[in-house]
Amino acid sequence: MENIVYLDNSSTTAPCNEAIVEMGRALKSDFGNPSSLHILGFNAEKRVNSARSALAGMLSCEEGEIYFTSGGTEGNNTALFGAAYAGRKRGNKIVTTEIEHPSVLEPVKRLEEEGFEVLRIKPQSDGTISEKSILDAIDSNTILVSIMLVNNETGAIMPVSSARRAIDSVGAPAILHCDCVQAFGKVPINVKKLGADIITASAHKIHGPKGIGFMYIKKGITIRPLLLGGGQEKGFRSGTEAVPSICGFYGAVKAIGDMDKNADAVRELRDYAVSKLKAEGIAVINSPDNSLPFVLNISVPGYRSETMLHFLEREGIYVSSGSACAKGKGSYVLRAMALPRERVDSAIRISFSRFNTKEDVDCLLSAIVSAKAALRRVR
């Protein structure tokens, strides 16, 4: 598509050229089954291992701690069910937050129905989770803690390392899971500093293909696999590896470059947008000041999200009203923050990538002003 302004990168990103090239090579040449005992299988396995090594390098972990999945949802489900079932003889409590992705909230709900005790931490009014609330929530009966690193709707950064300290201070047998889908490839992640036992991420958020992700599982952590069969991924995730998609993930990772430089450029765009929105009274900012700059949540009070989205789409500008998984139901994240209903109903999520420009921001702001004027006339 040409002549569009795409600002919905938290939903998905356009595959970069490097990812497309790597996928094409795998489809054309390295199409063997990585488990096959011939040269085509060996070549495919080599490509898979190269991707595994690149991902391990991104997290400063060992290659053997990386397991490929179909994406964030599978990873989160595997982490939550696997950790809960593995730990049920040592305790019964699960701690998470009210603002996790649905692929965490729904498994937790199922586990609660199965008899696990679940404590959901409420966010502060700015969308962040306080360190104190985490410390208060975790006790010696806690077997699983699941806290995302970056919220997908507001960009709020969560104190995951505080959860690690809380687990260690009370001697809880808890596994710490961190959904890094919105953070991976945008901010440096060192697994030792973060303190997570399990990390989940997805390629399509960093200009890779859909349908491929990975789990980091710390050596020594044992959880039950969801998929059984041929024993691929060291028996943890059976099924023939999706070599073209894994190669596409590899291409996307190679193309990231300097994460700090990327983040600085995006922060400049975000700050420019915020200053214009505030100065001209166009919208109210819902994201916290110290949020990840790739995500900016705003409200245009008096104008419903869906109406504004459709107007912007006609202008070739693509944003969202929140998580793509919500499908227009309204933001449970903003409701959990106790924002006024008018702000929740008029919320828009603007999400940047390293490929966006200041011109994209100008087009968006101009279109929002035009939308407000046009929609006022038809009231």
Q: Which one of 16, 180, 325, 363 is the catalytic residue?
A: 325
Q: At 29, is the pLDDT very low, low, confident or very high (cuts 50, 70, 90)? A: confident
**Domain segments of the chain as ranges:** 5-14+258-377, 17-255
Phi, psi of 197 (to 5 degrees): -85, -30
pLDDT digits (tens, 9 = 90+) for 285-328: 999 999 999 999 999 999 999 999 999 999 999 999 865 454 55
- Mean pLDDT score of the chain, rounded to an integer? 92
Q: What are phi and psi of 337, to 5 degrees?
A: -75, -5
* Contact present, 101 and 148 (Cβ < 8 Å): yes
Q: At 7, is the pLDDT very low, low, confident or very high (cuts 50, 70, 90)?
A: very high
Look at domain 17-255 and name its CATH class.
alpha beta
> Is there a catalytic annotation at residue 61?
no
Is the pLDDT at 136 greater than 70? The verdict is yes
pLDDT in tens, 226-260: 777 776 777 677 677 889 999 999 999 999 999 99
User: Is-contact 97 144, C-beta < 8 A?
Assistant: no
**Spatial separation of the C-alpha atoms in residues 17 and 8, rounded to whole Å:** 19
- What is the pLDDT, as a whole number, of residue 37? 83
The CATH fold assigned to 5-14+258-377 is: Aspartate Aminotransferase, domain 1 (3.90.1150)
**Sequence letter at residue 134:** I
Q: State the Cα–Cα distance between residues 143 and 90, nearest whole angstrom.
A: 7
Give pLDDT tens digits for 45-95: 899 999 999 999 999 999 999 999 999 999 999 999 999 999 999 999 999
Q: Give the pLDDT of residue 225.
A: 78
Burial class (CB in 10 A: 0-12, 13-18, 19+), 214: buried
State residue 43's pLDDT score: 86
Percentage, residues of the chain above pLDDT 70: 96
Indicate if the alpha-carbon torsion angle 245, 246, 251, 257 is positive or negative: positive
